[in-house]
């Protein structure tokens, strides 16, 4: 009997150690994000077959499809700041659309006064949001763990993408440029379905007939509306071809089966009363993930884009930092499921407002902090959407239906919608006594959420900018300091929260730019006599330091 027990113990021991070996020898997963813009869940795998998307259809068969995925804001820049940091835009001061230019290009990281006014009538400069010192782009954690990280090409984070965030950040960025045997995380942004393409692609032939599109009840059903919607679906078909190209590249490289693929849109659709709105039409998005050698499926698990950063870290075995506000929904550190997601709406271009929202699987609740304002914002950029001229004309002529007119009405302090019975969020139930208990639950949930974190949207934007940029001047990151110790090079910066990038060369006169192959400093570097080390330090929102050169 003792011999049998001993044999059993030995079998278990070697089995456990064998499994440990498998885990240790397993390569880190490659991950690709294919990110499109301005699409609601109006694709075939959500039941809308208007656009023909064969590449997405095939991908969906191997993917987990999320039926409850949401952006935190119904527009790109605040949402993208949340994606890259794992923080709510209102917590880090990135909630206003937008703070400044998309200033990724090296040598062009400056801002100027454009005469914009905030809600108090004060002039505001373009600015790069200075976020809390502990908050990093999550890709820094991936890079520190050996990942080659590329972004092609859009950033739009409300702050200049720090040089430490990406190994490559340009229209040439690609996993194919990685060092041999390095795991990679590659993002490809497709702008083909962006709102602007409704007019910029106006000369292209429609591949979807205006007669075949469905018109939401909040939009007038006329030729102009149908033409605009058909243009959007035609752009979706063009986007699908681009998706197919990325998938083909993975297959050609023999990487498809061993790569996790995310596909999603950065927020809801591009049409009027979709983009910039805090309803499902602006926040709810298509979202699916193809795992490694996975089969397809569906889940109604609620996820927010604030969850992407911790999920990415969890997928590769990195414990998410405690400061992150998102919840990992996959991987080693998979968190408890969400009951609620939260949304915000503040300034959009020249119009300032403040709305906060909470949603569960059935209900959407909105709190309008300025109920005296109209729902509609006369944003100049949106007026280029082809159907808008006719839409506004019908409004002036009093020819809109009661449902279509709602968008142009004065707001109420609270709104409540049953998203199952009313997917377009038309029928406000806030004053219906039958929903009083639901209203109380959603109201208290939002109040608790806001109490647990700061909301930088509560202060005038000019005051916010002055707190980030004292006297409205951008702070500058202190240069990297170098120290030699026991044959190692140690780098530091006196600016709290700064990250440091470095470049080692034989050349004393390197002409370095943003994509020169800067490495992220995470630990002391072996000193090699005769080499030159170039350094640059940057804290998010600050101007980057000068490039310093040291001879080792």
Q: At what angle do helices 388-396 and 223-252 cross, to 10 degrees?
A: 150
Q: Environment class of residue 119 by beta-carbon count within 10 Å: exposed (0-12), middle (13-18) or buried (19+)?
A: middle
Contacts of 170 (CB under 8 A, 6+ apart): 152, 153, 514, 515
Measure the CA–CA gap between 426 and 407, rounded to whole angstroms. 9
The answer for residues whose C-beta is within 8 angstroms of residue 362's C-beta and 6 or more apart is 418, 419, 420
> What is the Cα–Cα distance from 225 to 135, expressed in whole angstroms?
43
419 assigned to active site:
no
Please provide residue 388's backbone torsions phi and psi, each rounded to the nearest 5 degrees.
-65, -35
Q: Which of 76, 137, 149, 419 is catalytic?
A: 76
Which residue carries 């027990």 as its tokens?
5
Angle at 245 between CA 33 and CA 304, to 5 degrees: 20
Q: How far, in Å, CA of 420 to CA of 92, rounded? A: 33
How would you classify the pairing of strands 499-505 and 519-520?
antiparallel
Please tell me what DSSP assigns to residue 19.
Answer: H
Q: How many residues does the chain have?
A: 552
CA gap 150, 171 in Å, rounded: 10
Tokens standing for 250? Answer: 């993975």
Virtual torsion, Cα 123, 129, 130, 133, nearest 10 deg: 160
Cis check for the bond before 442: say yes or no (omega within 30 of 0). Answer: no
Alpha helix positions (H), 253-373 = 280-283, 308-315
Residue whose C-alpha is closest to residue 193's, from 164, 162, 234, 226: 234
Q: Say how far apart CA 8 and CA 319 lie, in whole Å.
A: 34
- Does residue 411 sit in helix, strand or coil? coil
Closest CA to 31 of 189, 251, 245, 256: 256
Tokens 């080499």 found at: 531
Structure-token pair, residue 170: 């340009």
Cα separation of 327 and 339, whole Å? 12
- Which two three-digit tokens encode residue 186? 């590659």
Q: How would you class 109 by CB atoms within 10 Å of its CB: exposed for 0-12, middle for 13-18, buried for 19 or more?
A: buried
| Inter-residue contact 440 to 295 (CB < 8 Å) | no
- Token readout for 545 is 């330091």
User: Could you list the active site residues?
Assistant: 76
């Amino acid at each position: 009997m003792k011999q049998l027990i001993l044999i059993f113990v030995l079998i278990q021991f070697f089995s456990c150690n064998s499994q440990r070996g498998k885990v240790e020898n397993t390569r880190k997963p490659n991950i690709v994000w294919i990110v499109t813009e301005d699409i609601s869940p109006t694709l075939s795998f959500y039941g809308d077959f208007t656009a023909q998307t064969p590449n997405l259809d095939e991908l969906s068969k191997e993917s987990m499809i999320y039926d409850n995925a949401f952006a935190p804001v119904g527009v790109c820049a605040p949402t993208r700041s949340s994606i890259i940091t794992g923080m709510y835009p209102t917590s880090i001061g990135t909630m206003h659309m937008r703070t400044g230019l998309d200033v990724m290009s090296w040598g062009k990281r400056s801002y100027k006064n454009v005469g914009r006014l905030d809600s108090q009538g004060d002039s505001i400069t373009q600015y790069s949001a200075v976020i809390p010192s502990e908050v990093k782009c999550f890709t820094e954690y991936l890079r520190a763990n050996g990942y080659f990280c590329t972004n092609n090409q859009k950033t739009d984070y409300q702050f200049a993408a720090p040089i430490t965030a990406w190994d490559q950040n340009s229209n040439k960025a690609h996993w194919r440029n990685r060092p041999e045997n390095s795991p990679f995380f590659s993002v490809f942004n497709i702008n083909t379905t962006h709102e602007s393409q409704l007019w910029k692609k106006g000369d292209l032939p429609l591949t979807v007939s205006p007669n075949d599109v469905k018109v939401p009840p909040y939009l007038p059903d006329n030729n102009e509306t149908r033409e605009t919607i058909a243009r959007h679906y035609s752009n979706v078909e063009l986007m699908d071809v681009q998706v197919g190209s990325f998938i083909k590249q993975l297959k050609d490289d023999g990487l498809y089966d061993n790569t996790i693929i995310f596909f999603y849109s950065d927020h809801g659709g591009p049409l009027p009363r979709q983009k910039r709105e805090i309803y499902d039409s602006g926040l709810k998005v298509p979202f699916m993930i193809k795992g490694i050698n996975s089969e397809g499926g569906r889940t109604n698990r609620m996820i927010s884009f604030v969850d992407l950063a911790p999920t990415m870290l969890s997928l590769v075995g990195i414990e998410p930092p405690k400061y992150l506000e998102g919840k990992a929904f996959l991987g080693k550190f998979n968190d408890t499921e969400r009951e609620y997601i939260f949304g915000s709406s503040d300034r959009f271009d020249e119009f300032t407002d403040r709305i906060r929202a909470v949603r569960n699987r059935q209900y959407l609740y909105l709190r309008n902090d300025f109920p005296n304002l109209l729902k509609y914002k006369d944003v100049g950029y949106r007026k280029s959407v082809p159907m808008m001229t006719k839409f506004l004309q019908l409004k002036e002529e009093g020819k809109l239906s009661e449902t279509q007119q709602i968008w142009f009405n004065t707001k109420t302090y609270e709104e409540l919608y049953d998203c199952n019975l009313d997917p377009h969020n038309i029928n406000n139930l806030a004053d219906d006594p039958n929903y009083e208990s639901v209203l109380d639950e959603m109201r208290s949930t939002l109040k608790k959420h806001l109490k647990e974190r700061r909301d930088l949207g509560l202060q005038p934007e000019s005051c916010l900018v002055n707190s980030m940029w004292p006297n409205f001047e951008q702070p500058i990151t202190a240069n990297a300091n170098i120290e030699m110790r026991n044959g190692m090079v140690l780098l530091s910066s006196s600016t709290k929260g700064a990250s440091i990038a470095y470049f080692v060369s034989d050349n004393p006169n390197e002409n370095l730019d943003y994509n020169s192959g800067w490495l992220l400093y995470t630990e002391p570097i072996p000193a090699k006599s005769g080499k030159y080390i170039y350094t640059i330090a940057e804290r998010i929102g600050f101007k980057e330091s000068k490039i310093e050169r040291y001879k080792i």
